[in-house]
Amino acid sequence: MTNNVHTQAVLTFDGQDDYIDFGKNDIGGVFAEGSSAFTISGWVNPHQLASKATTYGTRNVFFARSSDRYSDNFEFGISESGNLDVYIDEKLDNVIKTFGNGELTTGQWHFFAIVFDRGQLTIYLDEHEYTDSLRGTSLNKATSSVTLGATLHNNNYYTGQIANISVWNYACSQVEIQRQRSEPLVGNEEGLVAYWRLNEGEGTTVRDLTANAHDGKLRGNPTWDIAELPTFGQASSQELLSQASHEGETQDETANPLEDNPPLTETAVREEDTPTQETTALAPVVARDEGQPKAKKETRKKSARDQTSSTPEQQAGEIKIDQTSQSEVSENIPQQERSQTFTQEQSQEVMNPTANAKYKILAIDGGGIRAIIPALILAEIEKRTQKQIFSLFDLIAGTSTGGVLALGLTKPQLNLELSDSTPVAQYSAEDLVELFVEYGPSMFYEPAWEKIFGPIEDVFIQPKYAAESREEIFREYFGDAPLEGNLKEVFVTSYDIEQRIPILFTNKIEKQQTESKRFRKLSVGLTLTDAAMATTAIPTYFPPYRVASSQNFSGFYTLVDGGLIANNPTYLAIMEAKISRQDTKPVAPDDLLIVSLGTGSLTSIYSYDKVKHWGQLQWGQPLLNIVFDGGSEVVAGELERWFEASQKELSGSYYRFQTFLTGELELIDNVKLENIRQLQALAHQLIAAQSQQIDELCSILAS
């Protein structure tokens, strides 16, 4: 090829706050969940390469769909050594890949192309080609904006110029990549979904030259400049034929690599510790991983109505972890290769008195944002059993955000295409992971001025958070769905501060009890939103929630978080099992299968010297933590003693999954991104450590 130059207007990014915002746009489905093939190509001229990286390890990010608040699925950047950083969330590996041998030098224009084809990566940097693979075969879901010139995740900005970016909805061949490098695009090419020349020369909008109108807005203050870009003469017919022949041989040799020869889990290697490898033009070179696997924000999986038509790769998504290596996760968490289409088998509504039948109880502790931990464990159970949670248990109980999980897992999907004999829950456990990961910051939202002046008001005047945002989120998920319509028996705890009695929300109308002076069970006329708002009304954090009632003199139940009476609701669930039993015999441990999920046990120490002079003001917050945590652990300890004393071999009757928390992880309202990622990491560490017990449990549940 002949190498010439041409002049055009280009954008220059200052590395401070400049970028192009294309909005929350999946660019014609290319960056949508389940997308399994795409190509991105263009030109970059880095002016400066910094060492600052995102938490995924990507540096000098010039193209991304990621942010601090919303879910992500890719970041492309340049390392300080001039190599290409590629982070793609394909649900399984979640590691950064670094390609090249220092080709992307500063002060010069370089051509790049990134080809993703069902987990296979082919990277072109100028004349060089590199290959590698990922275990996942399609993109995870993302709700962040697409950006050029930066990633909104950790505010990592690119310094330099970018031009002629094209996005294709398929994996381009080597010959097509060479044409993209040597020939100008028109905008109407088949499979081209976006093409930004970035040559407008003025204004604050960049135009997509395809008919799809994926235009972008300039943010910060990138400047328009004139630059000389390389122009390569068109490759000769002989060159293209030779390349096509080479490409065909390569494809034959690498066909179905994931099926025929699954790669071993790769060991992450730091770039500076890896000897550089000289590459020849278009000779495939295996890329290296750089840095440890990075934490990933959980993204919302498709609900059950979508899962029946999705691919196995789309449904194998999982949150990755910071604090254990990828090899640890892959060894301890089996990857399901078959489709995750859930079966919809209904369990019996009442306890079966036959000899070997067990009444199956799921009980979920309260814990604010820490509900991410049990939600991820439940997602793992769904993945291993291939069944929705509601179909595995006879009774699901929850307190506070554990109650929200119980309600969401049993909410029916209204789908006219399905017959009445195949009930399906609207939300999977992974959907509810997203509820907390995505919307947790909105539930516990505190304006900036409140963070400065709020602590005084929070103590003396008002709750820490308003209820409106939380209610808006619950209404988005639950609407006005009636409590009595849930798919499986569910009960959720609360406490009436006027009547001074426990309030249990149940979907069983026949269990409604409104006359007792010791407790009430409510069902008729109530919604899932009512139950969710009541059970999460944590004193001092949120105001009480009022439910209209004709049974009370005041005309209302005034309700607060059920954690005050039963943060671990397992004992109450056992009492419900006794009521459901069809005979008068007492409930024995071998009648039950109990799965109890904690939200993390607190480890902070309140020493005598520290607290001996505390008054009401200092004790307020610690006392609430002690009530919640202490109540959970008392119940857990008593249940262990009950099962152990009853029979030596009852390992298949009681499962308690709990981890330990330190520092800010203990806070029920710490919705900072780093804290959420650490909670996700702890959950996956627990899953890895208890993988054998989870397998045993799943075998029992699915049988």
Tell me whether residue 351 is in a domain. no
Please say if the pLDDT value at position 256 is more than 60. no
Hey, how many other C-beta atoms are within 10 angstroms of the C-beta on 171?
18
The domain boundary residue, chosen from 185, 216, 232: 232
Per-residue pLDDT reduced to its tens digit, 219-244: 999 999 999 988 755 444 344 444 44
C-alpha 61/C-alpha 569 separation (Å) is 47
Judged by average pLDDT, the poorest of 58-62, 281-285, 495-499 is 281-285
C-alpha 445/C-alpha 465 separation (Å) is 7
The domain boundary residue, chosen from 201, 232, 263: 232
pLDDT for the residue numbered 585: 67
Tell me whether residue 638 is in a domain. yes
Element (H, E) at 225: strand 223-232
Tell me whether residue 268 is in a domain. no
What is the domain extent for residue 56? 5-232
**Mean pLDDT, rounded, for 261-283:** 35
Q: Please state the separation of Cα 573 from the chain's center in Å.
A: 29
| Banded pLDDT at 421 (limits 50, 70, 90) | low
Tell me whether residue 255 is in a domain. no
**Mean pLDDT, rounded, for 452-475:** 74
Q: How many Å is the maximal CA-CA distance in the chain?
A: 92
* Burial of 664 per CB tally in 10 Å (0-12, 13-18, 19+): exposed
Tell me whether residue 388 is in a domain. yes
Tell me whether residue 633 is in a domain. yes
Looking up residue 464, the CATH number of its domain turns out to be 3.40.1090.10
Looking up residue 22, the CATH number of its domain turns out to be 2.60.120.200
Per-residue pLDDT reduced to its tens digit, 335-359: 333 233 333 333 334 444 333 578 9
* Burial of 431 per CB tally in 10 Å (0-12, 13-18, 19+): buried
Q: In this structure, are 228 and 366 located in the same domain? A: no
Hey, how many other C-beta atoms are within 10 angstroms of the C-beta on 119?
22
pLDDT for the residue numbered 44: 97
Q: In this structure, are 223 and 367 located in the same domain? A: no
pLDDT for the residue numbered 310: 39
For residue 416, give every residue at least 6 positions away whose Cβ sits within 8 Å of its Cβ, in sequence order, or none: none
C-alpha 107/C-alpha 48 separation (Å) is 8
User: Are 307 and 342 spatial neighbours (Cβ–Cβ below 8 Å)?
Assistant: yes
Tell me whether residue 372 is in a domain. yes
* Burial of 245 per CB tally in 10 Å (0-12, 13-18, 19+): exposed
Average pLDDT across the chain, whole number: 79
Per-residue pLDDT reduced to its tens digit, 587-636: 777 788 999 999 988 766 777 888 788 887 777 677 777 777 777 777 77
The domain boundary residue, chosen from 232, 265, 287: 232
Per-residue pLDDT reduced to its tens digit, 121-150: 999 999 999 999 998 999 988 888 999 999
User: Are 388 and 413 spatial neighbours (Cβ–Cβ below 8 Å)?
Assistant: no
**Mean pLDDT, rounded, for 564-574:** 89
Amino acid at 350: V
> What's the Cα-to-Cα distance from 662 to each of 401, 497, 600, rounded to whole Å?
20, 31, 9
Tell me whether residue 354 is in a domain. no
What is the percent of the chain where pLDDT is above 90? 50
pLDDT for the residue numbered 497: 92
Judged by average pLDDT, the poorest of 243-247, 283-287, 413-417, 461-465 is 283-287
The reply to whether the predicted model has a pTM over 0.85 is no
C-alpha 625/C-alpha 621 separation (Å) is 7
C-alpha 439/C-alpha 430 separation (Å) is 14
**How many domains are there within the chain?**
2
Judged by average pLDDT, the poorest of 283-292, 419-428, 464-473, 680-689 is 283-292
Per-residue pLDDT reduced to its tens digit, 368-401: 999 999 999 999 999 999 999 999 999 999 999 9
